[in-house]
Structure 1
Amino acid sequence: MIETSQLQTLVAVTRAKSFSKAAEVLGVTQSAISQSIKNLESKLEVKIFKRSGKMVVLTAEGEKLYALGTQFLQKMEDTLVEIQGDKDTMQGKVTIGTLTGIGKTWLAKEIVWHAKENPDLKLSVRMGHQEDLIADFDANKLDILIMPEDDVPLHGEKEFFLEEKSTLVFPKEMKDQFFNKKLTLELLETIPTILFEQNDVLFLKWCRSKFKTHPKKLNVRFTVNSHGHMLQAVNEGLGIAVVPNHVLNRSFFKDKIMTLGDEFEVPSGKLYIVYHKESENLVRIKNTIDRLLSHRDTFKI
């Protein structure tokens, strides 16, 4: 494998047309220059320089390597300057990953404003499933993650973002049943219910929060592992359900079904912002995280 120092020596000798003058430019001995070129020619098994009077000039093979070397060294220098400049400015790339519901409800809209305010910043939002997002974060394809507490990668730095909430939803035709009676656990056990799965975690958390215990039985009418389809079922009058607020807030059915108001919203889990330890001093990363934290109150979750 050719070393960067060998390409630097090649370029210096070519421009100086002399081993001794190249040594002065690079601040090394002439013997070091000679040895570097000798090692390079040995690796490639071709002659790179030839004598032309008192000067050394490139062979045909050397010309090709010189063209490659100058391009590579210039690209490396440009990249290093860009990296060093990006460290303390709002320039460069920031890629954020989160769950689809959070991305569609709030994050993507917020990042649009962040991009508008920072025209030199290249922002990207990736929405998907936990396992895919974590794999990309581990592979350094994502700079920032917004994830539920249980899915936060162990090696990332984390910052508490906000607490998700869930709420009970019901068809409009059940309005009198809910608002003219005090909702009790016994009443809840009789009402047709739509669950995410048989052991619906959000539904059980909601019950624990409001009644301090689980219902002994449920009148399960429909089960589907999709909050969007649960809302559709509620709209069709199949029963009640407990869904995340951020799903309800972006749903087509938001204004077609009912809730019991803020009093009946309950915490359902914490969200964290996660980032790489080595990037915490990059201004573009720090300012993006600060932006998300300062605007989290606009996220109706």
Structure 2
Amino acid sequence: MLDWDKLRIFHTAAEAGSFTHAAEKLGMSQSAVSRQISALEDDLGLKLFIRHARGLVLTEVGEQLFGTAHRMHWELQQVETQMSESQDVPTGPLIVTTTVGIGSTWLASRIDEFLTLYPLIQLEIRLNDSELDLAMREADVAIRLHRPNQSEMIQRKLFTVHNHFYASERYIKEHGSPKSIDDLDNHRIISFGEPVPSYLGDINFLERLGRSDSTPRRAALKVNAIYGMMQAAHAGIGIAMLPDYVTEKADGLVQVLPEIEIPEYETYFVYPPALKSSKRVGVFRDFLVAKSREWSF
């Protein structure tokens, strides 16, 4: 049977990428960490790391063992947190993942209130336009811009994301405002760069609006981030299709062609069944639901 203490040291070394950094995290000497890893490799009869001057690289077997050790570490952390949570005061770590766009705008503008309400929750927000895997414990909970693909995940709808066309006051002063779909051909547009994440749906609707698929409108600028598109529009570069969550507090942007029907999509709060009874997940879910209801479109 594998020694859990050695596994714990191995897990820390794999995450840290070096024995030196692992020793700092564990409060041990570098030589002690190295001895424990060597002892684990001897127990298994297999090499777990390739050692070189720039750090440690996991072998194929090391990758497999790290995946198992990581899940064990996460499960133990959840048990410890649940045991430490009092009946009335949620406490412990909570890792939230969402897109850069919604995390840096809609969520960021509301998170201070949550931290004031629940000061014992250690919140970590991981912004990533590539979705982190909740089943693999890359995060605890997620705000997704689509219904989750994994049927076992618990989900709660938050709000509908509406898109509109925007340009800056400066751009409209210099170039005028489009009066019709055909008029867009005489304006500069800002699009999302390739590849477009599937959850953003038809974010480049401006390229195809009133045009055939074979002759899309050419973008003056492509940016592979919603927030970057908003900043480009704000700087007067052109017209962009933007979701309401990113323009909520963006002064200086003017909506154009408001009568055009534009694609929309739903936003969900998602978490694994293992966290169904977690108080910190429950209060965060309820907070997001309340904020979603307050948000008027």
Q: TM-score, normalised by structure 2?
A: 0.57
SS of residue matched to 1:295: helix
CA distance in 2, matches of 1:280, 1:226: 32
Q: How much has 1:84 moved relative to structure 2?
A: 4.3
1:192 aligns with 2:188: yes
Which amino acid in the other structure matches residue 204 of structure 2? F
Task: Give the Cα–Cα distance (whole angstroms) in 2 for the partners of residues 186 and 100 of structure 1.
Answer: 33
8 Å CA contact 1:165, 1:268 repeated in 2: yes
Name which of 146, 156, 161 aligns with 1:159.
156
Calculate percent identity across the aligned residue pairs: 18
What amino acid maps onto 2:244 in structure 1? N
* Structure 1 residue 146: Cα displacement: 0.5
Structure 2: give runs of 5+ residues left out of the alignment: 4-77, 197-201
* Displacement after TM superposition at 1:91 (Å): 2.6
Cα distance in structure 2, aligned partners of 1:204 and 1:187: 15
Offset at 1:142?
2.7
The letter for the 2-side match of 1:187 is D
Write the distance in 2 (CA, Å) between the matches of 1:207 and 1:105.
27
TM-score by length of 1: 0.56
Aligned equivalents of 2:142, 2:232: Cα separation in 1: 32
CA offsets per residue over residues 214-233 of structure 1, 9 Å max, x none? Answer: 79652533333334443454
What is the alpha-carbon distance in structure 2 between the residues aligned to residue 265 and residue 255 of structure 1?
Answer: 23
3-state DSSP class of the match of 2:264? strand
Distance across 2 between alignment mates of 1:167 and 1:186: 17
1:139-158 correspondence to structure 2 within 5 Å = 139-149=136-146, 152-158=149-155
How far apart in 1 are the matches of 2:233 and 2:109? 28
Residue equivalent to 2:284 = 288
Instruction: Give yes or no for contact 2:106–2:246 (8 Å, CA) kept in 1.
Output: no
CA contact 1:152–1:272 (8 Å) conserved in 2: no
Q: Helix, strand or coil: the match of 2:286?
A: helix
| Structure 1 counterpart of 2:205 | 204
- Could you say what secondary structure the match of 1:246 adopts? helix
1-structure distance, mates of 2:79, 2:172: 65
Matches of 1:219 and 1:122, distance apart in 2 = 47
Residue among 247, 264, 282 paired with 1:268: 264
User: What secondary structure is seen at the aligned counterpart in 2 of 1:218?
Assistant: coil
Alignment RMSD: 3.9
CA distance in 2, matches of 1:197, 1:108: 24
Q: Report how far residue 188 of structure 1 moved.
A: 2.1
Instruction: Go from structure 1 to structure 2 and tell me whether the alpha carbon gap of 1:96 and 1:216 turns closer, same or farther (over 3 Å shift).
Output: same
**Higher helix content, 1 or 2:** 1
In the other structure, the counterpart of 2:115 is: 115
Counterpart-to-counterpart distance in 1, 2:226 and 2:2: 56
Contact 2:206–2:217 (CA under 8 A) maintained in structure 1: no
Relative distance call for 1:142 and 1:82 in structure 2 (3 A) is closer
Counterpart of 1:35?
none
**Structure 2 counterpart of 1:129:** 128
> For residue 174 of structure 1, what is the amino acid of its counterpart?
I
Unmatched runs of 5 consecutive residues or more in structure 1:
4-78
CA contact (8 A) 2:162 2:263 kept: yes
Shift of residue 99 of structure 1? 1.7
In 1, the alpha carbon distance for the partners of 2:121 and 2:193 equals: 40
Written as runs of structure 1 = structure 2, the 5 A alignment for 1:80-95 is 83-84=82-83, 86=85, 88-93=87-92, 94-95=94-95
- Determine the structure 1 residue equivalent to 2:245: 246
Contact 1:99-1:128 within 8 A present in 2 as well:
yes
Distance 1:237 1:262, change over 3 A: closer
Task: Give 1:169-184 correspondences, 5 Å limit.
Answer: 169-172=166-169, 173-174=171-172, 177-178=176-177, 183-184=179-180
Q: CA deviation at 1:289?
A: 0.8
In the alignment of these two chains, the number of paired residues is 215
Q: Which of the pair has more CA radius of gyration?
A: 1
Alignment match, 1:218: 217
